[in-house]
Amino acid sequence: MASLDSLDFSLFRLSTDFCSPFAIFVQAQGCIINLILAFGWACAAFVRNREINRIKKSMRNGNNFAFLCHDISELEHSNQADLPSVTVIMPLKGFGEHNLHNWKTQLTSLYGGPQEYLLVVESTEDPAYHAVAKLITELEDSVKARIIIAGLSTTCSQKIHNQLVGVEAMHKDSKYVLFLDDDVRLHPGSIGALVREMEKNPKIFIQTGYPLDLPSGSLGSYCIYEYHMPCSMGFATGGQTFFLWGGCMMMHSEDFRQDNCGVVSGLRDGGYSDDMTLAAIAGAHKKLISSPAVAVFPHPLASDLNFGRYWNYLRKQTFVLESYVTKVNQVMNRALFAVHCYFSWGFVAPYCMAVIHVAAALRFRAREYSLEEMDYSSGGLTMVWILATCTLISLFSMWNLTRIEVLLCNILSPEAPRLSLASYNWFKVFVAMLVGNFLYPISAIRSHFTQSINWSGIIYHLKDGKINKIHRIPRRQDVAPVFTDLGGKHLYGKKGMPTKGSFLSSLSKRLFQWRQPKKSE
């Protein structure tokens, strides 16, 4: 009995302590963070929904190809013949359950101008090499694509090395270069939309987009989804942004040929993250980064994405803040590090306090204590109700943005299987928000003190913000990881085998023949 009284007293003291001015501030901060998130997602939803309305209006006016462009006259051969040449560079590593479909959407784009695809792998031993070689053979009548063997990186990350090898091999007449990750599922008109924006505003330095995560059901996949959703606000501007996603980046080819602003040297000489490095270069030279409203891409996550792979992914995301190009970039990364850590635990702390308040209230009622006798303040429960209300508003805003992005993706890819919100578990989303925000500072602090990261079996060591040492783990199953993080890709395992062509492939071939596009020599 004494132990129960001691528990009651402890709960009481904790609950009343959490009604102190500082505790009220922390709880109010949690409410404010939720409302800020809700407002940001509402703004992003407005921009995406505005694009949906534009497409629907164009369809009502008789343009059945509004998912490709708003003005149907742009599809006439005379206009298509004047489109600039684009080189698409796809750095590949490993083969997973969604890669084949993603590659098909990239290779069968309905862009009518000259284009070439350079698929860059580290070696022929990579399972991606055999899978994509068969796919290229299948599409050889409609796609100009070739595989390039990049070899091992020595001064930068393997992904950046593959990208730069692709740049060296691109056609001399290429006007734009588009870097695509192998987890990007393009819409038929995505390349055309990016090119139109570049042509309308030559001052654009980099054109980018952002993924819409499709969770597979595991907690790890929902943690990935909740991590990306706050970032999506910065990409749903319909124009200028300060953010950059390495999965989709279109740039002027001449910037790489001439090493303008040091884009090549900045990446090659110790570059770890392609998007963080290029975003820093753009900021240093006051260059424009843009993200059109249609640049949102379905990103299905691996069906067996476990919590360990999520943790490894989070480690890589926090590790990028340890890399930098200039001292200003270093200061900005440190500030982002501190702010993100502060708000992550600032988001979680109010819920911990709320649990104490609710537990104390339930315990007091169960033991038939009088709140007046315990001198218990109801301020704590009031804050719990306010926090719960703000949380519901935030989750509703996140749901609404996801709903609109799902609808936009369905409109932009009319031939693809319909995406749906039915599979989303919003209780898991909330749990993932707590778990992800709790773990972020831990991962960030660990990244800061280790200054090294294991990326798909390659350990990178940083010094002064740049890679100065690369160590490759021997390819033994008992030592090296056999899967990458999000896609569940086999790195050293069984060679992937492509399946039969999709409807998009046949549609692409028919429209290619109808418009008779030029191809680079």
Q: Would residue 5 count as lying in a domain? A: no
Angle between helical axes of 99-107 and 127-138 (0-180°, round to 10) = 40
Q: Would residue 261 count as lying in a domain? A: yes
Q: Would residue 185 count as lying in a domain? A: yes
The lowest-confidence range among 65-74, 99-108, 246-255, 456-465 is: 65-74
Q: Would residue 278 count as lying in a domain? A: yes
Q: Would residue 283 count as lying in a domain? A: yes
Select from 105, 27, 78, 95 the least CA-distant residue to 409: 105
Cβ-proximal residues to 340 (8 Å cutoff; 6+ apart), any chain: 440, 441, 444
What is the CATH classification number for the domain harbouring 237? 3.90.550.10
Q: Would residue 47 count as lying in a domain? A: no
| Residue with the two structure tokens 């609950």 | 15
**How many structural domains are present in the chain?**
1
- Cα 106 to Cα 87, 177, 268, 306, 389: the distances in Å are 12, 14, 26, 27, 42
Q: Would residue 380 count as lying in a domain? A: no
Q: How far apart are CA 86 and CA 519, in angstroms?
A: 10
pLDDT one-digit tens code per residue, 153-199: 999 999 999 999 999 999 999 999 999 998 889 999 999 999 999 99
Percent of the chain with pLDDT over 70: 83
pLDDT one-digit tens code per residue, 18-48: 556 777 788 889 999 999 999 999 999 999 9
| Residue with the two structure tokens 């069968």 | 108
Q: Would residue 49 count as lying in a domain? A: no
Residue 212 burial (10 A CB sphere; 0-12, 13-18, 19+): buried
Asked if 105 contacts 504 with a C-beta cutoff of 8 angstroms, the reply is yes
Asked if 174 contacts 87 with a C-beta cutoff of 8 angstroms, the reply is yes
Amino acid code (one letter) for 23: A
pLDDT at 454: 86
Report the residue count for the chain.
521
pTM for this model (two decimals): 0.85
pLDDT at 105: 92
Q: How far apart are CA 33 and CA 54, in angstroms?
A: 32
Angle between helical axes of 158-169 and 274-284 (0-180°, round to 10) = 70
The residue range of the domain holding 218 is 68-304
